[in-house]
Amino acid sequence: MRKLVLTAAASALALGIAAPALAQDGPSENAPFTGPRVEALVGYDKINAGSDVGSSDGVAYGGAIGYDMQFGRAIVGIEGELTGSTTDARTDNLLVAGDRLRLKAGRDLYVGGRVGIAISPLALGYVKAGYTNARLNARYRNGNTTVEDSDNLDGYRLGAGLEYKVGPTTYIKGEYRYSHYGELAGYDADIDRHQFLAGVGVRF
């Protein structure tokens, strides 16, 4: 997964080299949403972990890189993302009376693409889709016995958002994303995720 994110970053840099005028001068007035970008993200994170474990919410945080190209009002881009989360889910009496299971969200890697429409020279609406790999850290405790393990779950992500320019190269954004990871081995836990994130970024 790390190689996929690095490949996306390399592709963005290669596209930036292929368009030196954009890279040097920043977004143009005719194509304000073109060019490489970096951004910081933070927001609400909810993980549903099936009937055995239930659901829990917390705060997601991290960063992303990307590259967009504008054709008239249409925008096409690629992006990679690394986030963490405070979210965990806990349940008691799962297998026997008195036991406890805790599932804590770890790092989440994402690589994908987005397409959008320039609503105005300042505002961009978009949808996105791609591959996500999330780590879940599990801790099971029964009396004096504690077992800890982690699992990396492959899944897909769908999302939609709005980006708004607040300066010549800076922007803010709001985004909703849904991620589905499938079943967690050994538990009745079909994992999916809902997130509402805000971001601030710079386009070069």
pLDDT digits (tens, 9 = 90+) for 2-32: 444 334 444 433 434 343 333 344 566 788 9
Which H/E stretch holds residue 26?
none
For residues 134 and 105, the answer to whether their CB atoms sit within 8 Å is yes
- 134 contacts 179 by C-beta, under 8 angstroms: yes
The pLDDT assigned to 34 comes to 96
pLDDT tens digits along 154-188: 999 999 999 999 999 999 999 999 999 987 666 56
Closest CA to 152 of 188, 189, 177, 181: 181
In the predicted model, what is the mean pLDDT of the chain? 84
**80 — phi, psi (to 5°)?**
-130, 150
In the chain the domains, ranked by start, together with CATH numbers, are 2-203 (2.40.160.20)
Q: Are strands 55-71 and 88-92 parallel, antiparallel or unpaired?
A: unpaired
Q: How far is CA 174 from CA 39, 76, 98, 122, 197, in A?
A: 12, 18, 42, 14, 6
Sequence-distant (6+) residues with CB within 8 A of 151 are: 135, 136, 138, 184, 185
The residue to which tokens 């801790």 are assigned: 139
Tokens of 37: 């970008």
Distances from the Cα of 119 to the Cα of 28, 62, 123, angstroms: 16, 27, 5
The pLDDT tens digits for 30-71 are 889 999 999 999 999 999 877 666 778 999 999 999 999 999
